[in-house]
Structure 1
Amino acid sequence: MVERGYSTLELLKRVKVIEPANPNKSTAIFGGKASGILNWNDLAHPHFYTLRQKIRSLFWTANEVDMTQDVKQFSTMTEREQDAFLKIIGLLATLDGPQTDVAAKLSDYTTDPSVKSLMATIADQESEHNHSYAYVLSSVTTLDKQLASFEMGRTDEVLMRRNERIVEVYNEFAESPTIESALKAMIYTTLLEGLFFYSGFAFFYNLARHQKMVGTSTMISYINRDELQHGKAISDIFRAALAENPEYNTEEFTEWIYDQFRHSVEQETIWSRYVLAGIEGIDLEEMAGYVKYRANKMLRMLGLSEIYPEFTDNPMRWIRAYVDSFDDTKTDFFEQSSRQYVKTSDLNGFDDL
């Protein structure tokens, strides 16, 4: 039985740094008891150690990527490609910036020290992702265009409309931290990590397959690899927290999740058509199918059923050379036990980045 100090209907309390009267092994992810002393050999969820090791093994920094050729190539791209490049960097920065803060806020309220450590690792990587977008822009364009790209998250109407629910859910958790709002914030974190970035990623991979902006594409592949592991970690934490709080494992909450996925697919499709129209090598119908395919994969990772049965296979086959992926094994709804995932293939060297 999970031991908590108060009702799950109450606001979560910021966890004290050290409480020696409590056990080292946490009694719950949220609302439990723990001393604050982290022993990786004595965890409530031992596979969280493996998750952290995988994420830590991906360490990299933006300035390791050689942007020399990209500096020369940016001005040779079409005006449409340059515009899409700047808009998509603006999108990615808008999404990755808050991820650092959300991970930190989840850390403030979790009573499991291993989750705190995982969130600290994720927050650090998300911060580097955000830095990488500034690094790319500073390498290829003028300061005024760099600033305009980062302003998009609060000025571009299509992008703002696309992000409305993200803003709502994240701010709800920040202002009213409960177990329910934490669970919802984690759902949106998995959506960001596994769905919202992908039309943008596809744009850069498409440039790379045409031998354009390969340095930027390499950077994106590093970020993509990180996000897949973050999505895995957050989904596992979510499922463990839900198993500890079965009162939220309801048809109503399940339908809420499905609704967020449907809405997110719709908004991602609208965004991709807005930003990728006229880009050589991108088929917008294939992209719409790819977004649904990604949604199915994320739902399977959460232990839920697919909602787009006609998109169980990747319609953008070429992108598999650039994207790490999980397997297609589905488990029972919100099963608590750890799942094992593998990369899709070793089609080329990008899988080894």
Structure 2
Amino acid sequence: MTEKDYFNQILHGEATDKEVGYYKAVDWNRVEDAIDKQTWEKLTSQFWLDTRIPVSNDLKDWRQLSPEERDVVNKAFVGLTMLDTLQSEEGANVMRDHVRTQHEEAVLNNILFMESVHAKSYSTIFISLNESKEIDEIFEWGDTNERLQFKARVINDIYQNGNPLQIKIASVFLETYLFYSGFFTPLWYLGNDRLVNVAEIIKLIIRDESVHGTYIGYKFQLAYRELSEDEQYELNLWMYDLLHKLMENEDKYAEEVYDQVGWTEEVKVFIRYNANKALQNLGFPAYYDEGTAENVNPIVMNGLSTDTTNHDFFSQVGSGYLMGEAEAMDDDDYDF
């Protein structure tokens, strides 16, 4: 290996037209992939923090919920907390080992940070609505729940042992599919004009996750097209086996969380809708016939498409406080 080859290997295998002494400075004026720059600009324009949303203003709504409804909300959010923790500590991190450009690594750094913001946001919701003892109990449930831990174990095993394309599949499945069994709850309440400040945070998280899922899916498609037909076939078999394994567990998880309020079957349809979106992000057709927007509870779809709440300028700020309104989600959000 020549000295130049060695330096280029250090720099993630990036081809250069000039010698590099030891380390290459990232140059955003010379971008190899325009999607890197577009995604960076999109994500930075969406920057937000949970501390600017007045979640405690939802206490009146919270106290009017039944014990079963509060239990569903808490379990949904602790599940989301755990998955965001996994994505911030492992998912975005391991993908940095297989970037195609320096700019992609910068985007992944942004994604990693925002996943940490997401995970912290749920703690803001918990402390605003629950007593400390209740928070301890719900985290204990999440840390020991068989179905929730199964999701984490399967995805993290791929992060630690999978190849770069398998890792991207697992990440897109997590971002665009597995989160949504938890998102159903706040979207349902938002569609019923309840817990609207909680929903402000969830809409911001969904807006981020939409970009994350489409970006990683795009990077997957670039690498997938470089595989031979036999390699693509083997990867497809692996992907659909993972999809089935996760869906079987996700159905059981939905039953465990939602049976007590009678939402389980609607949640299962919503899960399949988003599983189809994850496949589309990866460049594959929809798989679940029942997973269409028309079959999803219209209240939830309405909540998914609602613009940010406008708060007064003195004591409250909503998700539009800095960077503009949270945008409605539609099918085009899953495609570059």
Matched, 1:286 2:279: no
> Secondary structure at 1:288's aligned position in 2?
helix
The count of aligned residue pairs is 303
How far did residue 92 of structure 1 move?
0.5
Matching residue of 1:23? 16
Matching residue of 1:66? 54
Matching residue of 2:123? 134
Checking the alignment, whether the CA contact within 8 Å between 1:99 and 1:123 is kept in structure 2 is yes
> Secondary structure at 1:236's aligned position in 2?
helix
How far did residue 314 of structure 1 move?
3.6
Matched, 1:188 2:181: no
- CA separation in 1, counterparts of 2:248 and 2:260? 20
Which stretches in structure 1 are left out of the alignment for 5+ residues? 7-14, 26-33, 174-179, 331-338, 341-353
Matched, 1:295 2:275: yes
- CA separation in 2, counterparts of 1:113 and 1:24? 15
Checking the alignment, whether the CA contact within 8 Å between 1:89 and 1:149 is kept in structure 2 is no
C-alpha distance 326-23 of structure 1, shift in aligned 2 (>3 A) = farther
Checking the alignment, whether the CA contact within 8 Å between 1:194 and 1:294 is kept in structure 2 is yes
How far did residue 156 of structure 1 move?
1.3
- CA separation in 1, counterparts of 2:60 and 2:10? 52
- CA separation in 2, counterparts of 1:239 and 1:132? 31
C-alpha distance 76-201 of structure 1, shift in aligned 2 (>3 A) = same
- CA separation in 2, counterparts of 1:107 and 1:329? 24
Identity of aligned residues (%): 25
Q: How does 1:68-83 map to 2 (within 5 A)?
A: 68-83=56-71
> Secondary structure at 2:154's aligned position in 1?
helix
- CA separation in 2, counterparts of 1:328 and 1:218? 22
Checking the alignment, whether the CA contact within 8 Å between 2:78 and 2:138 is kept in structure 1 is yes
> Secondary structure at 2:208's aligned position in 1?
helix
Superposition TM-score, scaled by structure 2 size: 0.80
How far did residue 111 of structure 1 move?
5.3
Matching residue of 1:318? 299
How far did residue 68 of structure 1 move?
2.9
> Secondary structure at 1:309's aligned position in 2?
coil
Checking the alignment, whether the CA contact within 8 Å between 1:100 and 1:123 is kept in structure 2 is yes
- CA separation in 2, counterparts of 1:303 and 1:62? 33
Matched, 1:93 2:75: no
Which stretches in structure 2 are left out of the alignment for 5+ residues? 305-327
- CA separation in 1, counterparts of 2:217 and 2:110? 16
- CA separation in 2, counterparts of 1:18 and 1:156? 39
- CA separation in 1, counterparts of 2:132 and 2:109? 31
How far did residue 63 of structure 1 move?
0.8
Deviates more, 1:163-172 or 1:189-198: 163-172
Checking the alignment, whether the CA contact within 8 Å between 2:221 and 2:282 is kept in structure 1 is yes
Matching residue of 1:346? none
Matching residue of 2:92? 103
Q: How does 1:263-278 map to 2 (within 5 A)?
A: 263-278=245-260
How far did residue 126 of structure 1 move?
0.5
> Secondary structure at 2:295's aligned position in 1?
coil
Checking the alignment, whether the CA contact within 8 Å between 1:152 and 1:159 is kept in structure 2 is no
How far did residue 142 of structure 1 move?
1.6
Matching residue of 1:113? 102
Matching residue of 2:207? 225
Deviates more, 1:214-223 or 1:239-248: 239-248
Aligned Cα root-mean-square deviation (Å): 3.0
C-alpha distance 326-113 of structure 1, shift in aligned 2 (>3 A) = farther
Amino acid at match of 1:320: M
Amino acid at match of 1:286: E
Matching residue of 2:315? none
Q: Which has the higher contact order (CA 8 A, sep 6+)?
A: 2
How far did residue 203 of structure 1 move?
0.7
- CA separation in 2, counterparts of 1:301 and 1:72? 39
> Secondary structure at 2:114's aligned position in 1?
helix
